[in-house]
């Protein structure tokens, strides 16, 4: 279980998150929603050790992550798919996948690569192209594939659905649910398409201006009379 207690964090000296308490139970999907600039990405960056943590605790199954450099966090089995700049534009797709699977051995790397390419067959055709030449959607798929390469215990997914066609978004969301159900991966999902995410999610948190304004079951937040209207843009819920 990924556990965050009384976290204050930000960038360099700038404070962005205030007193965050968050639980991400194992084998569950935890959804974080909130308006632009709320600090959702900052929260994921704090977990990865990219942002600066001023106070509080971040633990994964009891292991302290606070102030660990990102590569150590990654080695513990946390896989991060960032919102932006989530592929190496100057590297070919194959090299990208290789870097994503940096911690795997040769055998595992080959198997995993085949596995994720089967998941996104469209990428197979571009395998020797530079990632910078991909379209927005293709790039996003590559980023997700890279996230899966890392043999994750926990995945931090930041706004996956951006750039993707609605149909693909739906498939990706279903895929995420399968990751939880079939592979038992713990997932922390940050989503702008709140409705879709909350539908598959177990727990949910609402983050506004760096503070948690709501925590509870995902379906409750989806049906919350005020919050859903105020922050999620979910108008009519059937």
Partner 1 sequence: MFPPWLAGGLVYASALSLTAGGITLLYITTRTFNFAHASMATFGFYITYIFYSFRGGNLYQYLPLSFLFGSLLGIICYIGLNRPLLKRQASTITLMMSTLGYDLILLSIIQMLCDYLSYTFKLYPRRVTMSAFDFEMFGTSAASIITPLIAITILTLLHLFLTRTKFGISMRASIENPILASASGINSDKVYLMSWVIGGGMAALGGAVMSLTMTGTPVMGMTVIPYMFAGAILGGLENIYGGILGGFIVGLAEYVGIYYLAVKVGPWILGYRMALPLLIMAITLLLFPRGLAGIQWSYLLESIKRARKGAKS
Ligand X SMILES: Nc1ncnc2c1ncn2[C@@H]1O[C@H](COP(=O)(O)OP(=O)(O)OP(=O)(O)O)[C@@H](O)[C@H]1O
- Note the residues at the interface with partner 1 (CB under 8 A): 12, 48, 50, 69-71, 73-75, 80, 82, 85-91, 95, 98-100, 102-103, 146, 150
Asked if 41 is part of the footprint of Mg ion (rule: CB under 5 A), the reply reads yes
Backbone torsions φ then ψ of 101, nearest 5 degrees: -95, 35
Closer to partner 1 by CB, 141 or 221: give it. 141
Q: Which does 82 bind (CB under 5 to 8 A by kind): partner 1, ligand X, Mg ion, none?
A: partner 1
169 near Mg ion (CB under 5 A): no
Which DSSP category does 233 fall into? Answer: -
What does 42 interact with, of Mg ion, partner 1, ligand X, none (CB < 5 to 8 A by kind)?
ligand X
Per the CB < 8 A criterion, the answer to whether 11 and 56 are in contact is: no
CA 196, 149, 151: angle at the middle one, nearest 5? 90
**Contact between 209 and ligand X (CB under 6 A)?**
no
Q: How far apart are CA 19 and CA 157, in angstroms?
A: 22
List the strands of the sheet with 186-190, edge to edge: 78-81, 154-158, 186-190, 29-33, 203-208, 211-217
H or E stretch including 15? strand 14-24
Where does this chain touch Mg ion (CB under 5 A) — which range of 11-19, 77-85, 115-123, 146-154? 77-85
Binding stretches for ligand X (CB under 6 A)? 11, 14, 16, 34, 36-42, 83
Binding stretches for Mg ion (CB under 5 A)? 41, 83
């Amino acid at each position: 279980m990924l556990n965050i207690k009384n976290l204050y964090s930000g960038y360099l000296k700038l404070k962005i998150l205030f007193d965050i308490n968050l639980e991400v139970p194992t084998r569950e999907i935890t959804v974080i929603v909130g308006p632009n600039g709320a600090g959702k990405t900052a929260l994921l960056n704090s977990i990865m050790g990219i942002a600066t943590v001023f106070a509080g605790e971040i633990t994964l199954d009891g292991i302290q992550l606070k102030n660990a450099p990102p590569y150590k966090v990654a080695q513990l089995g946390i896989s991060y798919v960032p919102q932006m700049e989530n592929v190496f534009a100057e590297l070919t797709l194959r090299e990208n996948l290789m870097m994503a699977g940096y911690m795997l051995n040769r055998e595992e790397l080959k198997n995993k690569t085949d596995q994720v390419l089967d998941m996104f067959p469209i990428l197979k055709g571009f395998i020797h192209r530079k990632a910078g030449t991909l379209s927005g959607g293709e790039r996003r798929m590559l980023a997700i594939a890279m996230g899966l390469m890392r043999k994750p215990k926990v995945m931090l997914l930041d706004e996956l659905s951006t750039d993707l066609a609605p149909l693909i978004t739906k498939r990706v969301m279903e895929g995420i649910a399968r990751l939880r159900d079939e592979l038992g991966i713990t997932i922390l999902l940050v989503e702008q398409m709140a409705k879709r995410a909350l539908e598959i999610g177990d727990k949910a948190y609402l983050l506004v201006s760096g503070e948690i304004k709501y925590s509870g079951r995902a379906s409750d937040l989806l049906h919350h009379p005020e919050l859903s209207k105020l922050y999620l843009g979910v108008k009519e819920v059937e």
